[in-house]
Amino acid sequence: MSDAVPIGVPVAKLRPTQMTVGFREVELKRREWHDADEKERAKLLRHHVVPAVIGPGKHAYITDHHHFARALLDEGAELVAIFVLADLSHMPKDEFWTFLDNSAWCHAYDDKGKRRELSDIPKRLTKLADDPFRSLAGALIRAGGCAKSSKAFSEFLWADFLRRRIDHKLVSDNYDEAVARALMLCRTEDARSLPGWCGSNEKGI
């Protein structure tokens, strides 16, 4: 069962279903919100209705738009609209998280791409860690290196692909060069199984 909920859900009470976000991505969304007037902000909220699952304690666990929700929280915005994918509030906590995991509604991987316990997923948006490679995946999509996919957590698949091929120090010290490197890597045959792959280049890298 699904249900649209009017704007009015406190952002601070939303619970994440992943462990990380890309802080650069959050900053872009913060800037967009900060620079928007009242009409533009209303449009942003309409375009970012947040999908959520109602879990134990009637908490809303969001399954997408973590970057937007975190940006709203950091900017002091109080309310957001959610779209309820399922009401699982009757489930015990461990059963609830197993259900989310098996339904691709959570992503228990840390900022190094390592699988963690479901119990390690934070309870607050403010506790989400930075994954620089998730930001790099977002930059790759905006640059046209790959297409945005509807596959759950697809950007994290790209982040993990890039994490294994680009030095972390390059991402922190020379982000533009890291993006250029990512744009070359995304068109290689190694990336062909990833969602949104746009085909290989002839010369490779």
Q: Are 45 and 14 in contact (CB under 8 A)?
A: no
Specify if 196 maps to a domain: no
Shared-domain flag, residues 86 and 115:
yes
Specify if 71 maps to a domain: yes
Task: Per residue of the chain (205 residues), give pLDDT as tens.
Answer: 445 444 579 999 999 999 999 999 999 999 999 999 999 999 999 999 999 999 999 999 999 999 999 999 999 999 999 999 999 999 999 999 999 999 999 999 999 999 999 999 999 999 999 999 999 999 999 999 999 999 889 999 999 999 999 999 999 999 999 999 999 999 999 999 999 999 876 554 4
Burial of 163 (0-12, 13-18, 19+ CB in 10 A): buried
Please report the pLDDT score of residue 205 as a whole number.
43
Give the largest CA-CA distance in the chain.
55
Specify if 205 maps to a domain: no
Specify if 81 maps to a domain: yes
Specify if 203 maps to a domain: no
Shared-domain flag, residues 64 and 92:
yes
Please report the pLDDT score of residue 7 as a whole number.
54
The answer to pTM > 0.95 is no
CATH number of the domain within which 34 lies: 3.90.1530.10
Please report the pLDDT score of residue 201 as a whole number.
64
Please report the pLDDT score of residue 117 as a whole number.
98
Inter-axis angle of helices 23-35 and 38-47, nearest 10: 140
Specify if 87 maps to a domain: yes
Shared-domain flag, residues 137 and 124:
no
Amino acid at position 38, single letter: E
Note down the domain range covering 58: 3-130
Give the total number of structural domains in the chain: 2
Shared-domain flag, residues 151 and 126:
no
